A and B are shown apart, each in its own frame.
Chain A
Amino acid sequence: MAATDVDVFSNEEKRSLSLGGHVGFDSLPDQLVSKSVTQGFCFNILCVGETGIGKSTLMNTLFNTTFENEEASHYQNGVYLRPRTYDLQESNVHLKLTIVDTVGFGDQINKEESYKPIVDYIDTQFENYLQEELKIKRSLFNYHDTRIHICLYFIAPTGHSLKSLDLVTMKKLDSKVNIIPIIAKADTISKSELHKFKIKIMSELVSNGVQIYQFPTDDDAVAEINSSMNAHLPFAVVGSVEEVKVGNKTVRARQYPWGVVQVENESHCDFVKLREMLIRVNMEDLREQTHARHYELYRRCKLEEMGFKDTDPDSQPFSLQETYEAKRKEFLGDLQRKEEEMRQMFVNKVKETEAELKEKERELHDKFEQLKRMHQDEKRKVEEKRKDLEEEINAFNTRKVAAETLSLSQPLKKDKDRKNRSEKNENQSGMSLSNSKVMMAKANVEPLNCQSWWQAIQCCTCLVHNDAWKQGLF
């Protein structure tokens, strides 16, 4: 958009005129300044580095105050970010400073996911700003800008080169935020080693295409100092809040048995350079870069994702409104289609279930029929057996009657009769006994030979109904 604006202006008639006297619009910058001073400034720093590398101490040293912070433990499960906001004041300038700390960075055994929380946090801040910008009723001048303006990446002073985690993380962050790499705890590297270390780090960054923040050299007032500072990157810093007496001054320093490392001594470390660059010279430029470059990039990517374009397929400039309308229609159309689909699915499912149920019903019916038939078969068989048995009983009865009439038809003496009778009785009973024995024998065999319990019971029932049984002859 900015590119097209410039073109528009160059097409218009532009003439430079000279002024006859002092008009007074040279006070415009002052007005701007006084407005921004009353508004207050806002600055957000992200500190990325291993636990214990000196992030909090450096912040304390930079801003010459003690921010509250607890020592982090090494045993966090993952990386999480801890933003803290402070209100600082110097002369009449208010600064709303937010320091975001990465807790647990570099501690895990598997660090492949370590960069994700950081990238997510930065994106969330951009997203919040974008949402505010896209609102209908928005108040951007009042908005507390939480976008990260600068990321200080703390490199461990190994003296050899960058760590693999550092390289991976910086590559992921360089398109989202201004990165200034700094060498932490620099009092462990001697001068010659430091020189080699810096060269190695810069060459590794360049060869891997990592874009760190370059101090701007287009503004004449600060071009010289900025370009010289660019050559000193990465800054080797030492932080300390303790004061040590050196000579007749008390300075912030670290006291060792072999000497005192002064924080603000340029020949000891690059702390002063960092403070100059970060706070005194380029703070405003950092904010601008964040807004103009990183935020715009994020915004463009996000809107393109959503389908907005600057130019039509016919290369006519689009207006946001039309795009929005088109999007909305598309969205509603999608919704309707989805509804249709779901309804269709529902109907299909219902049909399926109905069909299943019918199937099951039929099966049950068949089974029922089958069982009924079986039952009838059984019943028939049983009936037949009963008939057979009855016939046998009848046959037996007739035989019995015949036997009785036989015995009765022979008139004998009383005692003979008696004897006979007793004999006959015996015989009878014997016969009935033998009969009963037969019955018994039959009984012994038959129920057990029955094919089903129903038949067995029938046999037993016949037995029970038998007269011999009823007479209690056995």
Chain B
Amino acid sequence: MTTSARYKSRIFKTEDSEDKQYVGFATLPNQVHRKSVKKGFDFTLMVAGESGLGKSTLVNSLFLTDLYKDRKLLNAEERINQTVEITKHTVDIEEKGVKLKLTIVDTPGFGDAVNNNECWKPITDYIDQQFEQYFRDESGLNRKNILDNRVHCCLYFIPPFGHGLRPVDVEFMKALHEKVNIIPLIAKADCLTPNEIKKLKDRVRDEIERFGIKVYQFPECDSDEDEEFKQMDKELKECTPFAVIGSNTVVEARGQRVRGRLYPWGIVEVENQSHCDFVKLRNMLIRSHMHDLKDVTCDVHYENYRAHCIQEMTSKLAQDNRMDSPIPILPLPTPDAETERLIKMKDEELKRMQEMLEKMQQQMHEKDQ
């Protein structure tokens, strides 16, 4: 059920009763709807995971377009020392008059090199950069046309070939869970039987809890929602992480043309709920929780970043003993720990030398006397 259908029915109820005392602000949702349609929406989705897990295929299946034409895949020997890049694809898609500007941020090269130490650093830097950009724009004088490039959601692909989360998965999610909404997915789920899927999901959920990773939590549904919705919500929550299959090709199955994968032993249908959780993911991501993801990004992750930034700035200013400048000065791009330590050492040295000087002066003073 779409949100619009739900509230429209409520408006009709109020109109029937109490015509004389009808004020009319019940049409506010309508007005919001109209305005938002006119303004259009935007959404930034990041996909992360090792190569070969089906990220591009899934994105194509989700949005029913082909975002990755002419993609050049690297050979194994080129990938030995590969660094992570960040690539952005932006498309404008429209459905029933509602415009969506969709940006997909891809991370080719993640986890592909032989030495993957800190391979998530370019990704965290990118997210911080977007936050910083938005912060700057928000604090500027002309705020009419702020471009919101902040990443609203990160789909993390877990390979199904293992027994659970691997160290690189854990490290990546821990580095990012305070900056972006992470939704973990089990990729290429057509290599697992239903029993194996259940075992793997339980394992992954346990490990996520054990390592203290804060993945995106679905908001609790209000108590006045109808039962069907609550049931759906409960099922959704028990199903995480979603086990997904993606497909770019259309095959013929049971007399219909569906998206699927053709095997000698059968056909996997992408949109069949008993085959995989693709439909649940799509519903959650696009049909019900897209706006909530954006809200959490704005209200929680961005505010955390902003508070952190301002605290750093004020502590730096206090140390310098300067007057607060009216225009907020943005902090230097994260000075690394090394230079900070050196600066602290030099400060202490200076203080010590100053004290010694004072002592010597005092002594000289006494001697003169």
- A residues bordering B, Cβ < 8 Å? 50-54, 71-75, 107-112, 156-168, 184-185, 187-188, 190-191, 204, 207-208, 254-262, 267-268
State whether B194 touches A109 (Cβ < 8 A).
no
Given contacts A188-B190, A256-B193, contact A204 B75 (CB under 8 A): yes
In angstroms, Cα B166 to Cα A176, docked, is 30
**Restricting to B96-154, which residues have a CB under 8 Å from any CB of A?**
112-117, 119
- Shortest Cβ-Cβ A-B pairs, 9 listed: A158-B52, A259-B266, A188-B191, A52-B162, A259-B265, A258-B266, A162-B76, A164-B80, A167-B76
Task: Beyond A71-B163, A187-B191, A190-B262, list 6 extra A-B contacts (CB 8 Å).
Answer: A109-B119, A157-B188, A256-B194, A257-B275, A258-B265, A258-B267
| Closest Cβ–Cβ distance, residue A244 to chain B (whole Å) | 10
A-B contact pairs, 7 of them (CB 8 A): A50-B161, A52-B162, A187-B190, A191-B264, A256-B268, A258-B263, A258-B267
Residue of A159, A164, A185 near B161 (CB, 8 A) is A185
Interchain CB contact under 8 A, A168 and B114: yes
Known: A112-B114, A258-B267, A259-B266. A51 touches B77 (CB 8 A): no
Task: Please state if A164 and B114 are interface contacts (CB–CB under 8 Å).
Answer: yes
Q: Which residues of B are found within 8 Å of A165, using beta-carbon distances?
A: 114
Q: Are A257 and B52 closer than 8 Å at their CB atoms?
A: no
Interface residues of B in 219-278 (CB under 8 A from A): 261-269, 272, 274-275
Residue of A with least CB distance to B74: A161
- Contact status B263-A190, CB under 8 Å: yes
Min CB gap B228→A, angstroms: 25
Question: In the complex, are the beta carbons of A268 and B265 less than 8 A apart?
Answer: yes
Asked if B60 CB lies within 8 Å of chain A CBs, one says no
Residue pair A50, B188 in contact (C-beta under 8 Å): no
Contact of A159 with B52 in the complex, beta carbons under 8 Å: yes
With a cutoff of 8 Å between Cβ atoms, the chain A residues found around residue B268 in the complex are 256, 258
Q: Name B261's contact: one of A52, A73, A190 (CB within 8 Å).
A: A190
- Shortest distance in angstroms between B280's beta carbon and chain A's nearest beta carbon? 15
Q: Tell me what chain A mostly uses at the interface: helix, strand, loop, or mixed.
A: loop
> B119: nearest residue on chain A (CB-CB)?
A109
Chain B interface residues toward A at CB < 8 A? 50-53, 73, 75-77, 79-80, 82, 112-117, 119, 159-168, 171, 188, 190-191, 193-194, 261-269, 272, 274-275
Residue of chain B at shortest CB distance from A106: B166
Docked-complex contact B162 and A188, CB < 8 angstroms:
no
Question: Across the interface, which residues of B come within 8 angstroms of A208, CB to CB?
Answer: 76-77
Query: Looking across the interface, which residue of chain B has its beta carbon closest to that of A77?
Result: B167
Contact A261 B161 (CB under 8 A): no
| Cα A185 to Cα B196 with chains together (Å) | 13
Q: Are B114 and A74 in contact (CB under 8 A)?
A: no
A51 to B167, CA, bound (A): 12
B167 close to A160 (CB less than 8 A): no
- What residues of B have a CB within 8 angstroms of the CB of A185 in the complex? 161, 191
A255 vs B77: C-alpha distance when bound (angstroms)? 37
Residues on the B chain within 8 Å of A260, using CB? 265-266
Cβ contacts under 8 Å, A75 to chain B: 167
Query: In the complex, what residues of B have CB within 8 A of residue A109's CB?
Result: 115-117, 119, 167-168, 171
State in angstroms the CA–CA spacing of A108 and B115 once bound together: 9
CA distance A75 to B262 in the complex (A): 36
CA distance A368 to B80 in the complex (A): 73
Q: Least Cβ distance of B67 to chain A in Å?
A: 17
Enumerate chain B residues within 8 angstroms of A190, measured Cβ to Cβ: 261-263
Report yes or no: A164 in contact with B77, Cβ–Cβ below 8 A: yes
With the chains together, A53 CA to B267 CA distance in Å? 23
Knowing A50-B161, A51-B163, A109-B168 are in contact, say whether A156-B194 is a contact too (CB < 8 A). no
Is there an interface contact between A52 and B161, defined as CB atoms closer than 8 Å? yes
* Complex-state Cα separation, A267 to B193, whole angstroms: 20
CA distance A24 to B358 in the complex (A): 112
Cα–Cα distance between A254 and B264 once the two chains are bound (Å): 13
Contact residues in A for B76 (Cβ distance below 8 Å): 161-164, 166-167, 204, 208
Complex contact B263–A259 (CB within 8 A): yes
Residues of B within 8 A of A255 (CB): 193
Known: A167-B77, A267-B264. A160 touches B52 (CB 8 A): yes
Q: Which residue of B lies closest to A163 (CB)?
A: B76
Q: How far is the CB of A102 from chain B (nearest CB, A)?
A: 14
User: When the two chains form their complex, are residues B191 and A157 in contact, meaning their CB atoms are under 8 A apart?
Assistant: yes
- Residue in contact with B115 in the complex, picked from A112, A187, A207, A267, CB distance below 8 Å: A112
